[in-house]
Chain A
Amino acid sequence: MESKMKPDGEKAEPPGYQRVVLKNASPHHYLKVRLLLEVESTRVSAVELKRFIVSCLRGLHGEVGAALEVDVLKYDEETLSALLRVHSRGLVKLWSSLTLQGSYQNQACAFRVLQVSPFLLALTGNSRDLHLD
Chain B
Amino acid sequence: MCADLSRTARTLLVCERSSFLDEKNRISSQVEQLRFNYKVSVLLPACSSSSSPLDSILNRFSSFYLIKKLPIYDLLDKDFLHNAVYQGSVYGLSFRTRIDEDNCVALMPNGRLVLSLDKDTFEMLGFEGRPSRFNNKTCSRFVVPVDLTDSSMAPGGRGYLRLLKVLRSHLNLQMDFLISHHPGGRATLQPLLSRYVWSEHRPEVSHRSLSNLVCPDLQSCDPLSLLEWLGAVDADVSCENLSSSFLSTLTCPEPKTTLSQALSVSICGLLLPQDVQQLVEQLRCYLQQTQKESWASVTVHGFTDSPVSWGDHEHGVLTRGENFYNLLMFQDHTYRLHLATGAHDACPL
B-binding residues in A (CB < 8 A): 1-3, 14-30, 46-47, 50, 69, 71-75, 83, 85, 88-93, 115-128, 130, 132-133
Contacts and interface: CB of A to CB of B under 8 A. Distances in A.
B294 to A, nearest CB: 14
A17 B25 contact: yes
Contact of A17 (B10, B17, B232): B17
Contact of A74 (B236, B268, B269, B301): B236
B200 to A, nearest CB: 10
A68 B112 CA distance: 47
B223 A22 contact: yes
B268 A120 contact: no
Nearest to B302: A127
Contacts of A117: 320, 322
B41 A15 contact: no
A75 B238 CA distance: 11
Given A22-B224, A71-B249, A15 B334 contact: yes
B205 interface: no
B12 A121 contact: no
A125 B19 contact: no
14 contacts: A2-B332, A3-B19, A15-B334, A17-B25, A22-B11, A22-B224, A23-B12, A73-B237, A83-B235, A92-B8, A115-B320, A118-B320, A119-B231, A127-B302
Interface of B: 5-8, 10-19, 21-22, 24-25, 38-39, 41, 66, 95, 98, 199, 201, 219, 223-224, 227-228, 230-232, 234-237, 246-250, 268-269, 299, 301-305, 319-320, 322, 324, 326, 332-334, 340, 347
Contact of B95 (A75, A115, A119, A132): A132
Contacts of A17: 16-18, 22, 24-25
A21 B16 CA distance: 9
A50 B304 contact: no
B227 A127 contact: no
Contact of B237 (A47, A50, A74): A74
Contacts of A88: 6, 8
Nearest to B7: A92
Nearest to B245: A71
A25 B11 contact: yes
B17 A93 contact: no
A127 B269 CA distance: 9
Contacts of B326: 121
B107 to A, nearest CB: 17
Contacts of A124: 39, 41, 231, 234-235, 301
Given A125-B41, A130-B268, A132-B66, A19 B320 contact: no
Given A50-B247, A89-B6, 17 more contacts: A1-B219, A2-B219, A3-B19, A14-B333, A15-B19, A15-B22, A19-B16, A22-B223, A26-B224, A74-B237, A85-B250, A89-B8, A118-B320, A125-B38, A127-B305, A130-B268, A133-B199
B11 A1 contact: no
B206 to A, nearest CB: 12
Contact of A18 (B12, B17, B269, B347): B17
Contacts of A126: 301, 304
B287 to A, nearest CB: 14
Contact of B8 (A3, A19, A22, A118): A118
Contacts of A28: 228
Given A1-B219, A83-B235, A122 B13 contact: no
| Nearest 6 A/B pairs, CB to CB | A120-B231, A125-B301, A14-B19, A122-B322, A121-B231, A89-B6
A133 B269 CA distance: 13
B15 A22 contact: yes
A14 B22 contact: yes
Contacts of B304: 126-128
A117 B317 CA distance: 11
Given A116-B320, A127-B38, A69 B10 contact: no
Contacts of A74: 235-237
A72 B250 CA distance: 9
A71 B234 CA distance: 17
Contacts of A47: 246-247
A28 B326 CA distance: 19
- Which of A75, A122, A123, A126 neighbours the largest number of chain B CB atoms within 10 Å of its CB? A122
Contact of A83 (B224, B237, B347): B237
